[in-house]
């Protein structure tokens, strides 16, 4: 009986790894490959390598506020859009 449990755990090792290593990452695809193709040794290895290779760092894009003004090359102060002279030092922007 213990051997059967051990074999089931070994069979689903890629899915378990995917869940444990990256809880936020969706391990459903790894589970599908593991479940349906795991009985072929190649499918098991594909799921295993996928579980190890999938890193949890999701590509996130940060929105940076784009200024509509101009920065002065002299003092670095931000002048409002349309201004021709720096509001801090008076230099042409
Ligand atoms: Zn300036």
3: number of CA atoms within 13 Å, CB side? 0
Q: Enter the pTM of the model.
A: 0.53
pLDDT digits (tens, 9 = 90+) for 69-84: 888 888 988 888 888 8
Distance 80 CA to ligand 1 centre (A): 12
Domain layout of the chain by residue ranges: 2-53
Residue 52: name the closest of 14, 10, 9 by CA: 14
SS3 41: helix
Decide: 93 and 70 in contact? Cβ < 8 Å.
Answer: yes
Distance 66 CA to ligand 1 centre (A): 19
pLDDT digits (tens, 9 = 90+) for 37-57: 989 999 999 999 888 886 655
Distance 76 CA to ligand 1 centre (A): 6
* Structure tokens that stand for 48 in this block: 């295993």
């Amino acid at each position: 009986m213990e051997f059967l449990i051990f074999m089931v755990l070994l069979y689903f090792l890629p899915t378990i790894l995917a869940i444990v290593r990256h809880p936020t990452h969706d391990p459903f695809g790894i589970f599908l490959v593991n479940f349906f193709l795991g009985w072929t040794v190649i499918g098991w290895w594909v799921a295993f390598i996928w579980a190890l290779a999938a890193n949890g760092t999701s590509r996130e894009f940060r929105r940076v506020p784009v200024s509509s003004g101009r920065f002065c090359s002299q003092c670095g102060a931000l002048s409002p859009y349309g201004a021709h002279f720096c509001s801090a030092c008076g230099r042409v922007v």
